[in-house]
Amino acid sequence: MKSKLPLPTRRRMCMRLVLAVAAPVWAVSGWAQAPAAGRTEALYEGVLGSSLIGMTLVVPKGAEGRLAGHYFHGKFLKDIPLTGSFQGGRLTLREAGGGTFTLELVSNGTGGGKPLDFSNSIGLTGAWTQGGKRLDVTLGNTANRPAGGRRYEQVTKETDEEFEARVQGFHRAVLAGDRAGAARFVDFPLHVNQGGKGREIASAEQLDAAWDQVFTRACLNALKEALPHDMFVSNGRAMIGNGVAWFSANGAVAINVP
């Protein structure tokens, strides 16, 4: 399949690559860094109709096979299990409530005529149907990780739910403009990368003074599209918004201002 992802999705993926260069300590892994043994999960973000969603799939080892995973709506951040199959670059995924995803892999342009699989694709496109309802679906592959285990065991000893509650608290507070509330979820000093330059914010008082310079309109727009659930982890840090914000066990540690 030669079609390209829509511009907003491609922008999010390009931003991930740029931020990986800008903040190499917390760079995002790719397929080349996937484990040689064991199973891999592919993480996707995009839209179902007009709603933001995330999706995680356990990648089949061959050119076809059974699929398992889950998806979630950005509004609710609750996993909805999926089961299905993969054959000929096409995926069929079903949820218990009766909804069905019918998706195709999107080529990354390096296949050389070979059949599409998860290693030479950059996303998924297709539709979700339930009864007579149909919604378009577009997803970009944002990251990959080893399957199994706790999601954030490289970050914290807390449960996944406890850690995500802290990240979601920061996310809500920033979007609400609650400066004091956001500061409670920051692990100071907060590293801020902007325009190729970095600086440190040492305290809640300094964050309040620099708020408008850190949380610019572009930064807030990126955070609005961020999904603070089922996050990718690299080097002991979890990210949201394709690298706009990174979190340690104690809170936000870095902001990459677009």
pLDDT in tens, 70-91: 999 999 999 999 999 999 889 9
* CA–CA dist 146, 192 (Å, integer): 29
Q: What pLDDT does residue 7 have?
A: 45
What the block records as the tokens of 212 is 């408008």
Q: What's the pTM value of the predicted model, to 2 decimals?
A: 0.84
Structure confidence at residue 112 (pLDDT): 75
With H, G, I as helix, E, B as strand and everything else as coil, classify residue 150. Answer: coil
Question: Residue 6: which pLDDT band, with cuts at 50, 70 and 90?
Answer: low
Reported confidence tier of residue 53, pLDDT bands at 50, 70, 90: very high
The predicted pLDDT at position 149 comes to 83
Question: Is 218's pLDDT higher than 90?
Answer: yes
Which of 102-106, 108-112, 241-245 is predicted least confidently?
108-112
Q: Are 101 and 91 a contacting pair, CB within 8 Å?
A: yes
CA-to-CA separations, 142 to 15, 38, 45, 96, 235, in angstroms, rounded: 10, 20, 7, 26, 17
**Three-state secondary structure call for residue 217:** helix
Over residues 21-41, mean pLDDT = 45
pLDDT digits (tens, 9 = 90+) for 180-199: 999 999 999 999 999 999 99
Query: What confidence score (pLDDT) does residue 115 get?
Result: 85
* Alpha carbons 51 and 218: distance in angstroms, whole number: 20
Q: What is the pLDDT of residue 24?
A: 34
The percent of residues above 90 in pLDDT, for the chain, comes to 76
Band (pLDDT 50/70/90 cuts) for residue 109 is confident
The pair of three-digit structure tokens given for residue 122, joined into one six-digit string: 């950059």
Average pLDDT over residues 203-231: 98
pLDDT-based confidence at residue 5 (cuts at 50, 70, 90)? low
Whether residue 64 is predicted with pLDDT greater than 50 in this model: the reply is yes
pLDDT at 22 over 70: no
pLDDT for residue 96 is more than 50? yes
Q: Is the pLDDT of residue 11 over 60?
A: no
State the pLDDT at residue 110: 81
Mean of per-residue pLDDT scores for the chain: 87
Contact call for residues 91 and 107 (beta carbons, < 8 A): no
